[in-house]
Amino acid sequence: MEYAVTTDRLTRVFGNFTAVDQLTLQIKPGEIYGFLGPNGSGKTTAIRMLCGILEPTSGTATVLGYDLSRETEQIKRRIGYMSQKFSLYDDLTAAENLGFYAGLYNTPSRERKSRVQEMLDMAGLIGREDELVANLSGGWKQRLALGCAIISRPAIVFLDEPTSGVSPTSRRRFFNIISRLASEGTTVMVTTHFMDEAEYCNKIAFISSGRLMAVDTPDNLKQNVLAGCLVELDLPNVMDQMESIEQLPYVKECSVHGLLLHVLLEDESSLGALEDYTGVPAKPIIPSLEDVFIALANKN
């Protein structure tokens, strides 16, 4: 199988609003494929279509070689899905939740016990298996939800903002697990608003207003997306000066990064003019993924 997922002009319309607009993409087996975009850009809608939960308005797709419209049931049986609101049962224990999902995904009954154990181990939940989910903190719940999504050993798992609301330590730990899964051949499609997590992805697709704006490796996006010369300014009062800098004819875009201002110039020829205007050095820098994100989001 050349691709784990292909979509061809996949589209979803709600009333007269187009949430996903002619999305065409390919995901290779074993890839960690990051799906990025502003709130409301259509990430969840696209994932729900690929999981067979939401019917496309038009366009086609294949998941694990199966046709999304004709072979929905085959797809549903073979994928894992962790929704934006983890679907755990608060009044069941960690182990009971895993057992429930093992049953739901038709895991052979003689394997269920060992699979539950394996997932508890993966999630670092050994010793807490009999704890009610209601009493688990965010990071545990998150890893348990992942365990529920992959207990059937799906060839592909869709993770929709799996790390929102958990601490940096838990997020790091979660992505280590994802990396291990991918290295063992599982395809992972993941949405996130954290740029450090996007860095772990082999490929990033960026969507805005339902449209695909760019797909590439994190490094290539940083090299290629921003047209112009990006510089960093260390100004004493960033917020006050940003507005007037944005008005300069040779400035394309400004954004604040901590105490520093990132300014995108048409090209290097206006470096001197900017330095004269602000009175501080303008240091050319390689864009971060956050710069790429902002530039792509502003394009639409």
Ligand X SMILES: Nc1ncnc2c1ncn2[C@@H]1O[C@H](COP(=O)(O)OP(=O)(O)OP(=O)(O)O)[C@@H](O)[C@H]1O
User: Which of residues 35 and 105 has its CB atom nearest to Mg ion in the complex?
Assistant: 35
User: What binding mask, one character per residue, do residues 68-87 give for ligand X by CB under 6 A, x or -?
Assistant: ----------------x---
Instruction: Tell me: does residue 97 bind Mg ion (CB under 5 A).
Output: no
What does the alpha-carbon distance between residue 263 and residue 251 come to, in Å, rounded to a whole number?
Answer: 7
Of the candidate spans 36-44, 86-94, 271-279, 285-293, the one that interacts with ligand X by CB under 6 A turns out to be 36-44
User: Which of residues 196 and 234 has its CB atom nearest to ligand X in the complex?
Assistant: 196
Instruction: Tell me: does residue 44 bind Mg ion (CB under 5 A).
Output: yes
Among 34, 37, 162, 228, binds ligand X (CB under 6 A): 37
Smallest distance, Å, CB 272 to Mg ion? 44
Instruction: Tell me: does residue 43 bind ligand X (CB under 6 A).
Output: yes
User: Which of residues 207 and 295 has its CB atom nearest to ligand X in the complex?
Assistant: 207
Instruction: Tell me: does residue 192 bind ligand X (CB under 6 A).
Output: no
What does the alpha-carbon distance between residue 283 and residue 57 come to, in Å, rounded to a whole number?
Answer: 48
Smallest distance, Å, CB 94 to ligand X? 26
Q: Which residues pair with 16 in a beta bridge?
A: none
Q: Is the dihedral of CA 101, 107, 110, 113 positive or negative?
A: negative
How many CB atoms neighbour CB 221 within 10 A?
A: 24
31, 156 contact by CB (below 8 A) = no
Smallest distance, Å, CB 178 to Mg ion? 18
Of the candidate spans 18-26, 39-47, 61-69, 291-299, the one that interacts with Mg ion by CB under 5 A turns out to be 39-47
Nearest CA among 239, 240, 226, 221 for reference residue 298: 226
Please measure the distance between the N-terminal and C-terminal CA atoms of the chain and give it in whole angstroms: 35
Smallest distance, Å, CB 198 to ligand X? 13
Counting other chains too, the contacts that 41-44 makes at CB distance below 8 Å and 24 or more residues apart are 41/207, 41/208, 41/209, 41/210, 42/12, 42/207, 42/209, 42/210, 43/160, 43/191, 43/207, 44/84, 44/160, 44/191
Instruction: Tell me: does residue 163 bind ligand X (CB under 6 A).
Output: no
268, 229 contact by CB (below 8 A) = yes
Of the candidate spans 43-51, 71-79, 96-104, 260-268, the one that interacts with Mg ion by CB under 5 A turns out to be 43-51
Smallest distance, Å, CB 38 to ligand X? 7
114, 75 contact by CB (below 8 A) = no
Instruction: Tell me: does residue 16 bind ligand X (CB under 6 A).
Output: no
User: Which of residues 44 and 170 has its CB atom nearest to Mg ion in the complex?
Assistant: 44
How does DSSP assign 15-56, residue by residue? TTEEEEEEEEEEE-TT-EEEEE--TTSSHHHHHHHHTTSS--
Residue 40 touches which of Mg ion, ligand X, none (CB < 5 to 8 A by kind)? ligand X
Instruction: Tell me: does residue 51 bind ligand X (CB under 6 A).
Output: no
Number of residues that bind Mg ion (CB under 5 A): 2
Instruction: Tell me: does residue 42 bind ligand X (CB under 6 A).
Output: yes
Of the candidate spans 34-42, 63-71, 129-137, 165-173, the one that interacts with ligand X by CB under 6 A turns out to be 34-42
- Residue 89 CB-density burial (10 A; 0-12 exposed, 13-18 middle, 19+ buried): middle
The DSSP symbol for 286 reads P
Q: In the complex, which residues of this chain contact ligand X (CB under 6 A)?
A: 14, 19, 37, 39-45, 84
Q: In the complex, which residues of this chain contact Mg ion (CB under 5 A)?
A: 43-44
